[in-house]
Chains A and B, each alone.
Chain A
Amino acid sequence: GQSLEQPSEVTAVEGAIVQINCTYQTSGFYGLSWYQQHDGGAPTFLSYNALDGLEETGRFSSFLSRSDSYGYLLLQELQMKDSASYFCVLISDRGSTLGRLYFGRGTQLTVWP
Chain B
Amino acid sequence: NAGVTQTPKFQVLKTGQSMTLQCAQDMNHEYMSWYRQDPGMGLRLIHYSVGAGITDQGEVPNGYNVSRSTTEDFPLRLLSAAPSQTSVYFCASGTGTSGIVRGETQYFGPGTRLLVL
Contact = CB atoms under 8 A, between A and B. Distances in A.
Contacts, number: 61
Contacts of B105: 44-45
A91 interface: yes
A41 B111 contact: yes
Nearest to B48: A100
Nearest to A41: B110
Contacts of A58: none
Contacts of B90: 42-43
Interface string A72-113: 000000000000000101010100001111111110000000
Interface residues of A, number: 27
A32 B77 CA distance: 31
A85 to B, nearest CB: 9
Interface string B62-91: 000000000000000000000000001010
Nearest to B56: A96
A44 B108 contact: yes
Nearest to A32: B103
Interface residues of B, number: 24
A105 B101 contact: no
A41 B37 CA distance: 11
Nearest to A89: B42
Contact of B100 (A8, A44, A49, A101): A101
Nearest to B96: A99
Contacts of A91: 100-101, 103
A92 B40 CA distance: 22
B68 to A, nearest CB: 16
Contacts of B41: 105-106
A31 B101 CA distance: 8
A105 B102 CA distance: 23
Interface of A: 4, 8, 30-31, 33, 40-45, 48-50, 87, 89, 91, 93, 98-106
Given A31-B101, A49-B103, 13 more contacts: A33-B103, A40-B37, A41-B110, A42-B4, A42-B90, A43-B108, A48-B103, A91-B103, A100-B45, A100-B58, A101-B106, A105-B41, A106-B41
